[in-house]
Amino acid sequence: MEQKKKKLISGNNFIPVCEPLLEGNEEKYLLECVRTNWISSQGKYVEEFSKKFAEFCGAKYCVLTTSGTTALHLALVALGVGKGDEVIIPAFTMIATAFAVIYTGATPVLVDSEPETGNIDPLKIEEKITKNTKVILPVHIYGHPFDMDPIMKLARRYKLWVVEDAAEAHGAEYKGKKVGGIGDIGCFSFYANKIITMGEGGCVVANNEKLFQKLNMLHDLAHSPQKRFLHEMVGFNYRLTNLQAAVGLAQLEQVDKFIKARRRNAELYNYYLKGIEGLRLPIEKKWAKNVYWMYGVLLEKNLGVGRDELMEFLAKEGIGTRAFFEPMNRQPVFKKIGLFKQEKYPVAEDWGNRGLYLPSSSGLTEEKIKHIAEKIKKFFRRKR
């Protein structure tokens, strides 16, 4: 199987889960950085991307970071999160969300998902709030916004901060507003598989000026604004380079095209996969604009075949897939440090057992989507 897979890749027939689309001004802007020697963490592309990405999110301020994970960590530190505090996160998420909380010395507290989108269930959050809770940190899973209004109301009632993990949701909308700019802080990732990429990178966006100043200072080793090399708190070297921002700006110039492509992918998948008994397709809530960072499907229960069998079959056909996230309560690393023992999150665990996502690149063609759908139909016909 491994030899066949390599042959498919080298023959350019393998369809990966995701690959970047670099067909704008990326090369032009990068060459300008090199020719002008502006290759470190200062330069016009850092400034321009920060300004334009904040505007894109409907936020006033943006601080660029080295990754989405460091963006989350920076946000929590800026909000004063530390040892003895608790941060509420989804049980179903990428592990970086939980790691960012661990880095601060605080304790992540898990909440189960709602079954339609896999996002955090707002009705299950209040029961997890204690006197130690400081932040609610929900995630816009796979590009579909979580239900923000009840979470924001709950946070205001209990005087808690809301940090949006929007790593997977560039341009997604909640009731007509871009995600990331609705909570107190929004965090994004620009990893290679994201809708906007820099290869690696991230950012935080905010509307509060004092909070922005603290975020900006902390990400640059906490240099004092009054005197450089004077430090009153522990800071971090989370600065992004002008080279990366140059790629990011070129990507941001194309973001409408990318989002349109992802939504078109979803429409085509929905069309070609409809009617397959036992395969549940993703939805879009009436109040949401789903950007379909990844097109995820669930195999219904009691089919007699499992998710892993479908993934293995598609791999043999030259089609890349990924299993859904493994819930946080089932992660060995957290059990080793005494977290989430005996805790159960039925919806998150069910999604982790039955879900996978299909190739979702912005450059995916209808021909390839049709081909993928035909192979999935072939799998289900064989298993009947």
Percent of the chain at pLDDT > 70 equals 97
Note the pLDDT of residue 12. Answer: 67
Is a pLDDT exceeding 80 seen at residue 4? Answer: no
Whether the per-residue pLDDT at 5 is higher than 60: the answer is no
3-state secondary structure of 192: coil
83 part of the active site: no
pLDDT grade, residue 282 (50/70/90)?
A: very high
> Directed axis angle between helix 44-57 and helix 242-252, to 10°?
40
Q: Do the Cβ atoms of 292 and 266 come closer than 8 Å?
A: yes
Collapse the DSSP code of 125 into the 3-class scheme (helix H, G, I; strand E, B; otherwise coil) and give the result: coil
> What integer is the mean pLDDT of 118-124?
99
User: How far is 32 from 341, CA to CA, in rounded Å?
Assistant: 53
The whole-angstrom separation of Cα 37 and Cα 43 is: 9
How far are the Cα atoms of 72, 92, 97, 146, 319 from residue 138, in angstroms, in the given order?
11, 10, 9, 7, 31
Alpha carbon distance 64, 80 (integer Å): 20
> pLDDT tens digits for 291-338?
999 999 999 998 888 999 999 999 999 999 999 999 999 999 999 999
Span 99-107, average pLDDT: 99
Domain boundaries along the sequence of the chain: 2-20+255-383, 26-252
CA–CA gap between residue 83 and residue 295 (Å, rounded): 37
Average pLDDT value over all residues in the chain = 96
Portion of the chain with pLDDT greater than 90, in percent: 93
φ and ψ of 323, to 5 deg: -70, 155
Alpha carbon distance 329, 347 (integer Å): 12
Q: What is the mean pLDDT of residues 197-215?
A: 98
For the stretch 141-167, pLDDT in tens is: 999 999 999 999 999 999 999 999 999
pLDDT tens readout for residues 61-83: 999 999 999 999 999 999 999 99
Q: State the helix-helix crossing angle for 209-218 and 68-78, rounded to 10 degrees.
A: 120
Tell me what pLDDT residue 36 has.
97
Alpha helices of the chain — where are they, by DSSP H?
2-10, 26-36, 44-57, 68-78, 95-104, 148-157, 209-218, 242-252, 255-273, 307-316, 332-336, 346-354, 366-383
Which one is catalytic: 134, 194, 214, 289? 194
Assess whether pLDDT exceeds 90 at residue 2: no
* Residue 303: burial class (beta carbons within 10 Å; 0-12, 13-18, 19+): middle
Residue 3 has pLDDT above 50, yes or no: no
Distance CA 230, CA 361 (A): 46
Q: What's the mean pLDDT in 264-289?
A: 97
d(CA 228, CA 183): 32
Cβ partners under 8 Å of residue 246, min gap 6? 26, 29, 30, 32, 33, 45
**pLDDT for 6:** 41
Q: Is the dihedral of CA 326, 343, 134, 285 positive or negative?
A: positive
CA distances from 275 to 53, 74, 272 (A): 40, 45, 9
SS3 assignment, position 133: strand
Q: Is the pTM of this model over 0.75?
A: yes
What's residue 225's pLDDT? 84
**Does residue 383 surpass a pLDDT of 60?**
yes
CATH match of 26-252 with 3.40.640.10: yes
* pLDDT surpassing 80 at residue 245: yes
Residues 6+ apart with CB under 8 A from 96: 68, 69, 72, 167
Distance in angstroms (rounded) separating the CA atoms of residues 346 and 357: 20
Per CATH, the homologous superfamily of domain 2-20+255-383 is Aspartate Aminotransferase, domain 1 (3.90.1150.10)
